[in-house]
Amino acid sequence: MNDAVKITPFSTASAPAPGGHYAQAIKHAGLLYISGQLPIAPDGTHLAEADFDDQARQAIRNLIAVAEAAGASVGSLLKVTVYVVGVANWPRFNAVYEEMLGAAHPARTVVPVPELHYGYLVELDAIAACQEEST
């Protein structure tokens, strides 16, 4: 890898710590790549028993917390990918998403899946624009 390439990992205590060998987010060349966010409270409490809407809200809160910790915002989200258990939950996710993102309309893909880790019902990751790091 070229030594001139700057790749900066980011983490925040305002979102759950990674459950494996990965960063909460990586900043590179004015972009922020946010890892998959599940409905886990920042203190590590698993919310798999919560209803779908509450799971979606927590996952989105986590995504926003990571974005903001790295200098991005809801308004700078470029692309969000959503993994939702059961296509029937798609309209419910859309309502929560609209409630939480407000006027922001990033590109989005929703992927219905048969199941997620720990029995969660939703996970999302994102790419956001962010300030270039000064060198």
Over pLDDT 90: what percentage of the chain? 93
State percent of the chain over pLDDT 70: 94
* In this structure, CATH architecture of domain 8-129: 2-Layer Sandwich (3.30)
Average pLDDT over residues 76-103: 97
What is the rounded end-to-end Cα distance, in angstroms, of the chain? 17
Q: Which of 48, 37, 51, 46 is nearest to 83 (CA)?
A: 37
Residue 46 DSSP class = B
Mean pLDDT for all residues in the chain: 94
What's the predicted TM-score (pTM) here? 0.93
Q: Are the C-beta atoms of 121 and 94 separated by less than 8 Å?
A: no
Closest C-alpha among 54, 68, 64, 66 to residue 122: 54
Domain ranges of the chain: 8-129
**Residue pLDDT, tens place only, 20-58:** 999 999 999 999 999 999 999 999 999 999 999 999 999
Q: How far apart are CA 96 and CA 101, in angstroms?
A: 9
pLDDT tens profile 57-79: 999 999 999 999 999 999 999 99
Q: How distant, in Å, are the alpha carbons of 77, 79, 131 from that of 95?
A: 18, 18, 30
Q: For the residues 1-5, what does the mean pLDDT come to?
A: 63
